[in-house]
Amino acid sequence: MLTAINAVFWCPEPDRVSSNIQRAFAERVSTGKAAATTTGVTATSTLACHTFPSNKPGQPAPRATGMYQDASVHVVCAAHLTNRKPLEKQLGLPAGSDPAVLIAALYARDGIAGLDQLAGAFALVLHDLATDTVIARRDPFGVCPLFWAWGAGGQLAFASLPEVLIDAGVIKAKRNLDGVVDLIASSSAAKPRTLITGLYRVPANSQMTFSASDAGRVPAAKTCWRPSPAPDAPKDFDGWSRELRRLMDRAVATRIPTTGDLAASVSSGLDSTSVTMLAEAHLSDDQHIFASTYAASEEAEQTYSGLLDETEVAQQVVAGSNRISWRRHRLKPKIDHKPAELGVIAWQFDEGVPEYETAIAAAQSGADVLLTGWGGDNAASYKGLGTHAALLKKGNLRQLRLLADARKLRGRKRLKFYARAAADTLMPQGTRLRELFSGPKRETMNYNHRMYTGFKPQYRANSDLLEFRTSDTQTNRLS
């Protein structure tokens, strides 16, 4: 399910503009089913939260959520709060309270400081009626997107998808060259300015405060959260193991929604199995994990026994749980070299791509979040170098040559391959120099773009999906 924010302030016809935004949402998401909407209205403002259902057979209709209003404050939010239960207890709220109710209670008690207590994935817009100010805030990881624009006559509009503000006529679609320069210079989307003139984002881990007298201005983005000082380093291996387990458990917990099912990609790697089992420990009573593993075709297995087939380990991982269901995807790769000759297997798929198939299956299962371990163990093994750069640095030229020959069979240029290996050795992924040279064409952005466009037509028909990978801590930074 997709939860979307729609808010309009200081507008003579707020209901009309909000209805246009809602219509644009429906056309963009296009699940074919009506969204559950909850709305708050004043003479000059309309706040709405739309929950679009998935097309999974038998899925219950979405519940209207994410909106609260009283005489002093209006709140609209898209939120998966990981500390909801302790906050409910602290505030004396009933279990399972709407996150908007919880946010309003925190603000009523502690003001801005109350919002600092939120943990998890969230985007919120809060209208303080006493001061007539609007507060917009996003979570530290920037998981939930939030965009805004000043419209004609000083109206202010917010939406979870940037396209809908253009579709609704709040602003015009005009390229912003300054936004292009920002993206190229910083290789990230950490600033409010976007690629469209007049369209802005609330940056991740930031709060922006608006007032009617500041119409047309871009308020400062205030950082909301800073990492706590690093604790004393563990003294021994057991200490490091406990600390790693604690940090992994916390990282997984912050990415699990409080409601709705999850999906996971399970392989024989330590990272994906750890993520899946840690996630299971944080499930609520009505949540479930749909796990999947991809394997080579039976024809390939007859020649190369066990090649790419991680199902035996995956089955062992999920066997002891009644909260995890599991399926296997059969794919047909072309094998360019025997594993014994190459050391590093080079292959390509005749049909289907593992990442696409896993994501499509996750969306079809009705999951809102996909947890994967793709590349996490490789990142640790190769220290960000990549396979070919790691082979070059080790001086293993024979395997490097075989890998280059395998790429040539698929139409890749050998000289470009060696140049890439050398560049990756000098500039490992994640270094500032690598980011500077990569610019907006960095691997993270390109991979995410291919993932999104590759299965978009198929998964959009089922549900929206957030994906978290252990190999990429910047997955959502373009949001």
Average pLDDT over residues 365-384: 61
Can you tell me the distance from the alpha carbon of 370 to that of 365, in angstroms, rounded to the nearest whole number?
11
Give residue-wise pLDDT tens across range 252-261: 887 777 677 8
Mean pLDDT for the stretch of residues 213-242: 82
Q: What percent of the chain has pLDDT over 90?
A: 26
pLDDT of residue 417: 78
> pLDDT grade, residue 430 (50/70/90)?
low
Residue 472: pLDDT above 60? no
Higher pLDDT among residues 452 and 201, named by residue: 201
Distance of CA 225 to the CA centre of its chain: 19
CA distance 124 to 107: 12
| Residues 6 and 162: beta-carbon distance below 8 Å | no
The pLDDT of 251-270, averaged and rounded, is 77
CA dihedral 79, 118, 448, 262 (to 10 degrees): -60
The reported pLDDT for the residue numbered 264 is 85
CB 160 within 8 A of CB 147: yes
b/e string for 248-264 if b means 16 or more Cβ within 10 A? eeeebbbbbbbebbbbb
Model pLDDT, residue 149:
96
Average pLDDT over residues 110-124: 92
411 contacts: CB under 8 Å, gap ≥ 6: none
pLDDT at residue 301 tops 70:
no
The burial class, CB within 10 Å (0-12 / 13-18 / 19+), for 452 is: middle
Q: What is the pLDDT of residues 35-60, one digit of tens each?
A: 788 888 888 899 999 887 765 656 66
Give bridge partners of residue 157 from the DSSP assignment.
8, 149
In the chain, % of residues over pLDDT 70 = 68
| DSSP reduced 3-state for 48 | strand
Q: Are 289 and 276 in contact (CB under 8 A)?
A: yes
Average pLDDT of 453-465?
Answer: 42
* Dihedrals phi, psi of 147, to nearest 5 degrees: -120, 155
**pLDDT value of position 467:** 56
Whole-number pLDDT of residue 344: 41
Which one has a higher pLDDT value, 128 or 462? 128
The helix/strand/coil state of 125 is: strand
pTM of the model: 0.67
Is a pLDDT exceeding 50 seen at residue 326?
Answer: yes
Residue 340 has pLDDT above 70, yes or no: no
Structure tokens at 286: 């009505």
Burial of 194 (0-12, 13-18, 19+ CB in 10 A): buried
pLDDT at position 316 is: 81
> Which pLDDT does position 157 carry in this prediction?
96
- The domains located in the chain, with CATH, are 2-223 (3.60.20.10), 237-384+428-469 (3.40.50)
- Give the pLDDT of residue 124: 96
Report pLDDT for 453: 35
SS3 assignment, position 163: helix
- CA 265/CA 374 separation, integer angstroms: 8
HEC string of 257-301 equals CCCCCEEEECCCCHHHHHHHHHHHHCCCCCCCEEEEEEEECHHHH
Whole-number pLDDT of residue 473: 36
Q: How far is it, in rounded angstroms, from Cα 350 to Cα 346?
A: 14
pLDDT at 458 over 50: no
The residue with greater pLDDT, 354 or 286, is 286
Model confidence pLDDT, tens digit, residues 152-189: 889 999 999 888 999 999 999 888 888 777 776 665 66
Mean pLDDT of the chain: 75
- List the single range of 230-244, 410-424, 454-468 with lowest mean pLDDT: 454-468
| Confidence tier at 386 by pLDDT (50, 70, 90) | low
Q: What is the pLDDT of residue 36?
A: 81
Q: Which of 120, 137, 133 is nearest to 224 (CA)?
A: 137
